[in-house]
Amino acid sequence: MSTSLMPPLPPTFNSLSPAAGPNDLCQMADVIDWLPSLGQQGANAVNSPWATNRIPRLIRACSAGILGFLRRDTLNPVAINEIRNGSGSNRMALRNWPVISVQAVIAGNVVVPPSPPWSLLGIQYGWVCDGYTVAVANGYGNGPVGGTVGGAGNVAYGAPGGLAGFCPYGFPRGFQNIQIAYTYGFGCQYAITGVSLSNPSGTIPWNGTTVTLTLQIVTPPSSTNPLFIPQTGQTVTISGVVPDAYNGQVVILNVNGNTISYAIPATAPDPGVYESGGSVLAGMIPDDIQQACIELVAQKCARSQHIDQDTLSYGQGQTTSYQRVAIPRETQFALERYKLMPVLEI
């Protein structure tokens, strides 16, 4: 069982068309490029009602069909608070992947801290995540520094400040006693390391400005969630900045190396001088999923010309046969690796 706190979902980079939906997996231009005949003059040309009316509808339908096949509601980054039954092990497979970031791990009534970065001391006590599972590392020896193994799956340890407490070195058995808050989906998270304004804060009268953020990648790239560089025109989500006026969804105006820029409207109040913190979450669509959607839309475009027709004979021994499958085999092959599988409770 899981519960989710769903924030507004940022559009992915491939959903820039005004007529596109937030979960469209390709754009009309992608389909036209794949079907050159649509770019020609005639009844099926790109500017004809056939194309302008049907293709956006097919893109939405095929995108929804692909998401259903993948057992996903969206490919966009989503924040979720997953509540699970503790199994007694030190590792738990999450229901959703790939994991972009983990915000909190609570085992029983204990908040488990993240494991510090690896050092000469080895892996120290805390949670670690590989993009699919969350595990509670025991640290070197049988527990944290200076710790001794306690009872009921706990480790007695000396906490900062000289306080003593108990830390679970796994997920103790129980019903609905584990909470893991994390963000999953396809995209990259960047830490904000600097902010500059083209019109400095405090300028009177304030008439808006361009904000430039210096970014540092946080999300480790993987085969299922490759490194993705924000692009001009993409909508991204900014959070955690102090002061709060910098936070929210913005459209990138320019990308230059490791910086991105966006505009604050002239009607918006002065956000104040940047103080600290902040991250940028940029969504993406993996190339093979995008291509699978293009090919599925193309299949349905072509199929509309020969619905329920198995073969077409031209005489003189010439016959055309059509595949009658819901999803082309090569499309299904590309999608299989992204399918969410049920996670069973033990």
Closest by CA position to 68, among listed 295, 275, 343, 327: 327
Distant-in-sequence, close-in-space partners of 38: CB < 8 Å, separation ≥ 6: 31, 32, 44, 45, 46, 51, 55
Residue written as token pair 């050159």: 36
This prediction's pTM: 0.72
Q: Which regions of the chain does DSSP assign to beta strands (E)?
A: 78-86, 91-93, 99-107, 110-112, 126-129, 133-137, 148-149, 154-158, 164-168, 174-184, 187-197, 209-217, 235-239, 248-251, 254-256, 259-264, 279-283, 311-315, 318-321
H helical segments located in the chain: 28-34, 49-70, 287-303, 329-335
- Label the pairing between strands 99-107 and 110-112: antiparallel
β-partners of residue 76 are none
Give me the domains of the chain, ranges plus CATH numbers: 28-75+287-338 (no CATH), 78-184 (no CATH), 187-283 (2.40.30)
Per-residue pLDDT of the chain (346 residues; tens, 9 = 90+): 333 333 333 334 343 333 456 688 988 888 888 877 655 544 455 556 667 778 888 899 999 999 999 999 988 888 899 999 998 888 999 999 999 889 999 998 889 999 887 767 677 788 989 889 999 987 544 444 434 444 444 444 433 333 334 566 789 889 999 999 998 988 888 999 999 999 888 888 888 889 999 998 887 666 666 666 778 888 889 999 999 999 998 999 999 888 999 999 888 888 899 999 999 988 888 888 999 999 898 888 777 655 655 555 666 666 555 556 667 788 888 899 899 988 877 6
Q: Which two tokens stand for residue 180?
A: 């893991």
Gap between the Cα atoms of 210 and 205, Å rounded: 15
SS3 of the chain: helix, strand, coil, percent, to 5: 20, 35, 50
